[in-house]
Copies of this chain bind each other. A is one copy, B any other.
Amino acid sequence: MRLAVLGAGAVGGSVAELAAEYGHEVVALADSSSAVVADPASATETGTGVDTTAALTRKADGSDLGPAAPEDALAANYDVLVEATPTTLGDAQPGFDHVATALDRDRHVVLANKGPVAERYAEVRAREADSAGEVLFEATVGGAIPILSTVADLGADRVDAVRGVLNGTANFVLSRMAAEGLDYDHVLAEAQDLGVAEADPSFDVEGTDAALKCVILANRLAEADAEGVDDLAEQTTSLDEATVEGIAGLPGNALELAAEDGQTVRLIGEATRDAVRVGPRLVPEHGTLAVSGTRNIVEVETDHAGRLAISGRGAGGDATASAVLSDVGRLPEPSR
């Protein structure tokens, strides 16, 4: 497949670098200020994509990715648009417009950006229904963990709920606090030094990131019951409707009290067809959900298969890029 990659951060950059290994070709790579785009004539032949390593090296050196404008990437001759720009809330722009443009051109879209499917799920599906392109978004939930494809494989109608640890930063903070008896501010500062937490950690520690992932999961489950795209708009949920509590300022003695009882605290997100809840919860200290460090885990409640648990790397460029590239591999070759 010919890929246009929007976003050249950890995920977009890693998709661009790994694409060839998965048998794909990058014909455009853009960040917010520039792009490198293959010659449209030559890009129809294999091996004539852009030199992504050279472009990413230029970016790392403080230069532009290439001589083109970001919007040129969106107009390139690609089969699949990989949308890996930062997640934005509310109208999910400019990610949503990127998705819409690709679908209008009957191209596939693979999302790493959570915005369009967390904030405008039904609109994305409605536009997909009018397009020859398809939209996949495994990388938006749980990084390398194939949670959406497992739900699809089991049949979303056979899944009652999905819950788990979906934010590695919050989990790192909680597992360090419990293991070392350190207080929240100390561990957060340590996480920032290690690059595990952002300078502004609020998106992670206030539960927003986990909640967006749960909203996507809830919408995926609701879709199994929806009859058509109009009904889907009624069934979908949003961040506004989610009950979200973070871990910011959690007192260290909460973890000590939990430990006295063989328990610990984790930031648990839960998605059902009609509700999303995220908050710190008591879980058994050595139980399934008490993963350590930045690892993520999800439990899937099924009707006849019992409870499945899947854990893995919830973030990181290569891990998330592998989810993007698995999605690319699931898409049908274009008939053009």
Contact = CB atoms under 8 A, between A and B. Distances in A.
A97 B325 CA distance: 39
Interface stretch (A88-96, A193-201, A316-324): A316-324
A293 B297 CA distance: 20
A306 interface: yes
Main secondary structure of the interface of A (DSSP, over half): mixed
A145 interface: yes
A310 B309 contact: yes
Interface in A320-336: 321-323, 326, 329-330
A323 B308 contact: no
A149 interface: yes
B309 A322 contact: no
A148 to B, nearest CB: 11
Contacts of A313: 305-307
A309 B312 contact: yes
Contacts of A61: none
Contact of A144 (B155, B306, B319, B330): B306
Interface string A288-312: 1000000000000010111111111
A133 B79 CA distance: 31
Interface in A188-237: none
Given A153-B149, A309-B310, A326-B153, A304 B319 contact: yes
A311 B308 contact: yes
A304 B288 contact: no
A321 B304 CA distance: 8
Nearest to A313: B306
Give the interface size class of chain A: 20 to 34
A326 B144 contact: no
Copies of this chain per assembly: 2
Contacts of A307: 312-313
Nearest to A329: B155
A304 B154 contact: no
A18 B304 contact: yes
A332 to B, nearest CB: 14
Nearest to A158: B322
Contacts of A323: 305
A16 to B, nearest CB: 13
A214 to B, nearest CB: 20
A150 interface: yes
Contact of A308 (B304, B310, B316): B310
In the A-B complex, the 7 residue pairs with the closest CB atoms: A144-B305, A305-B322, A286-B286, A308-B312, A304-B322, A306-B313, A304-B318
Given A144-B302, A309-B311, 4 more contacts: A153-B326, A154-B326, A158-B322, A304-B321
22 contacts: A18-B304, A22-B155, A144-B302, A144-B305, A144-B306, A145-B308, A146-B150, A146-B154, A150-B150, A153-B330, A154-B322, A155-B329, A286-B286, A304-B318, A305-B313, A306-B312, A306-B313, A306-B316, A307-B312, A308-B310, A309-B309, A310-B310
